[in-house]
Amino acid sequence: DGSKDVWLFNNYTEGNVRGVEVKAHAKWPAPSNVHVYGHQSFRDVRAYDLRHIGHHYANEPWSETARDVTLVDCTAKEPIFNDLYAGLEPKALVISAYQRVTVLGFTALGDPTYDYKGTPVIAFQYKSRKININGLNIFGFTKAGSDVRIYGGDQRTDDVRISNFTIHDSAPEGISIGGGVYYVTLMNGIAHTRGGSIGISSPNNQADITAVRAVGYTNAAVLAGQKYSSVPTNIKGGFRAAAKSGSPLTDTSAIIAGSGTIIAKGERNFIAGVAGGATTEGSRNGVMFSYNSHTKGDSGSSVVMASKNVINTKEYSIALGHGDGNPSEGNKKIELDAIGGTVRATNRIESVSDLKDFAEYFESTDGQKIEASYLVALEGEKIRKADVGDKILGVVSKTAGLVLGGAAFDWKDRYLRDEFGDIIYREVYDGERVITVPAENPDYDPSEAYKPREERDEWHVIGLIGQVFVRIDSTVGVGDSVSAINGVATKSESNGYGSVMKIEMPYDEEKGYGVAKMIVTPQH
């Protein structure tokens, strides 16, 4: 009680309840500025035990004196149960209530045949804080519970840093972190065992983990309930890497690979692959692979990509563009609007494959599939194969470069519309601000599985304008316009549909059709 400024060099203990104990009772100050060098504990129950009694539990006061203990090149060999203190669990190292503890070069050697009854080998517990472990080696505690246990709960420990550690052929669980512990760093370590269960475990994802490997466990890590085959790299706080400059100003912002003045001002902002500087404001915003481009304002989910001198102020959108001079919103060339599903571009939208026609989706009258290249006619708002005297709408197309009416993502009536077909919008709060979104139909059921039209037999892509492939009979030649008999084109003497450009496949009597390439426009 109350000891200060103590140095112990090169001592040995054996067969005790505790090998080295740094301890005080509740009413007395704890020992402080204590340094233990080169000690070996052999078959003591608890090799090294730092504690301040009466300051352990959540309802007890914090110790103001349990501070500054250093263990250097210490060894705990085969801690065991003994009769001197019945029920006391053997441990290599226990830290309770103490803060500012440094352990350098600590070795714990267990007996692989000894029954440690599932107890942790090293325990950090009872409101201990600011523990630094550098150079930890653990071996042989095969019948323990875990090699290192960082206890959580109301009297949890925290601010623990363990680096340069080796755990080899030891407990089923390597390092176990308890609930409510948020500030643990594990760096440069390996846990290698045979038949282990979990290398690193925590009920949350708050531990900083870098360059840690776990081998021989069923799961290398189990973090926040998720199982990992290899230990992930977890890094908290504002992050900057491979950048000549940059300021991630919040705990959840990151800057990677950049030069110039780079500032990530908002929460959850990301800047990567930039030159000439970049800045982001708002929340969930980003600039990527761009030169001197920025997001502005308090909006969320605003992005600039592959651009030069572009500013984006529009929420839930991606902007791409290029311009000289000062950055400007006027330098946008393409904008993808996630709220309305709108694509805007300042130049043509071009199909670079050999797709030839403009098309829309139409549903068949009988719900059955109509094969490719048959001519079709309207019956109300649905289609059937065109026949004698029908006004031809188009052709079932496999070569459409632009297709409308796909309803590929959800039910066509998911959003409410006015009498002219325009979507009705409403304002909602997204957790950060009020935004305008399409008003959802109360009849929409998101739990009901949706099959897009392209996967349904009754829906057909109908080529309306451009070059199309059409089934023909033996009467059709180059330059002809056509009418239809049961969906197959036949030569029309007047007021026909389209114009034949080329006979791709001559009429085959066995197949019952040939194939022609036609140029078509809407009939009036």
CATH of the domain at 506: 2.40.300.10
3-class SS string, 295-355: ECCCCECEEEECCECEEECCCCEEEEEECCCCCEHHHEEEEEECCCCEEEECCCCCCCCCC
Amino acid (one-letter) located at 103? V
The dihedral over CA atoms of 449, 455, 458, 461, expressed in degrees to the nearest 10, equals 130
Which of the following is catalytic: 360, 363, 493, 504?
360
For residue 67, the SS3 value is strand
Dump the DSSP string for 78-108. -----TTSTTPPPEEEEEES-EEEEEEEEEE
Q: Is residue 350 part of a domain?
A: no
C-alpha 321/C-alpha 491 separation (Å) is: 50
User: Is residue 109 a part of any domain in this protein?
Assistant: yes
**What range does the domain containing 107 cover?**
4-228
Is residue 273 assigned to a domain? yes
Q: Are residues 422 and 445 in the same domain?
A: yes
Give a yes or no: residue 233 inside a domain. Answer: no
Q: Note whether 199 and 56 are same-domain residues.
A: yes
Do both 405 and 468 map to the same domain? yes
> What is d(CA 96, CA 157) in angstroms, rounded to the nearest whole number?
8
Domain count, the chain: 4
Take residue 205 and report the two structure tokens written for it: 């994802």
Q: Which of 337, 336, 305 is nearest to 321 (CA)?
A: 305
Give the closest residue to 69 by CA, choosing from 134, 19, 124, 4: 4
3-state secondary structure 125-183: ECCCEEEEEEEEEEECCCCCCEEEEECCCCCCCEEEEEEEEEEECCCCEEEEECCCCCC
Residues 460 and 445 in one domain: no
The pLDDT value recorded for residue 228 is 96
Question: What's the pLDDT score for residue 434?
Answer: 84
Question: What residues contact 460, with CB distance under 8 A and at least 6 apart?
Answer: 361, 362, 363, 364, 369, 370, 376, 383, 396
Residue 24 and residue 4 in contact, taking contact as beta carbons nearer than 8 Å: no
CATH number (domain holding residue 438)? 4.10.80.40
Q: pLDDT per residue over 125-158, tens digit each?
A: 999 999 999 999 999 999 999 999 999 999 999 9
Within-domain flag for 67: yes
For residue 88, the domain's CATH number is: 2.160.20.10
- Assess whether 61 and 120 both reside in one domain: yes
Q: What is the pLDDT of residue 351?
A: 78
Distance CA 437, CA 423 (A): 10
State residue 437's pLDDT score: 87
pLDDT on residue 87: 84
CB atoms within 10 A of CB 455: 8
60 among known catalytic residues:
no
Q: Phi, psi at residue 214, to the nearest 5°?
A: -130, 125
Q: Is 323 left (phi over 0), alpha (psi -120 to 50) or beta?
A: beta
Nearest C-alpha neighbor of 172 from the set 133, 99, 117, 228? 117
Say if residue 403 is in the same domain as residue 474.
yes
Predicted pLDDT of residue 523: 63
Distance separating the N- and C-terminal Cα atoms of the chain: 103
Q: Are residues 424 and 478 located together in one domain of the fold? A: no
Is the alpha carbon torsion for 438, 441, 445, 451 positive or negative?
negative
Q: Can you give the three-state secondary structure of 308-325, one letter per residue?
A: ECEEECCCCEEEEEECCC
Q: What is the DSSP letter of 390?
A: P
Tokens of 35: 């340094």
Q: Is 362 found in the same domain as 462?
A: yes
| Sign for the pseudo-dihedral over CA of 149, 150, 151, 155 | positive
Tens-digit pLDDT profile for residues 342-359? 899 999 888 777 888 999
CA distance 483 to 392: 8
Q: How far is CA 421 from CA 44, 286, 326, 361, 405, in A?
A: 82, 34, 40, 17, 13
Q: Are residues 149 and 111 in the same domain?
A: yes
> CA dist 269 to 35, 191, 272, 338, 402, Å?
45, 34, 10, 18, 35
Residues of the chain with pLDDT under 70: 523-524
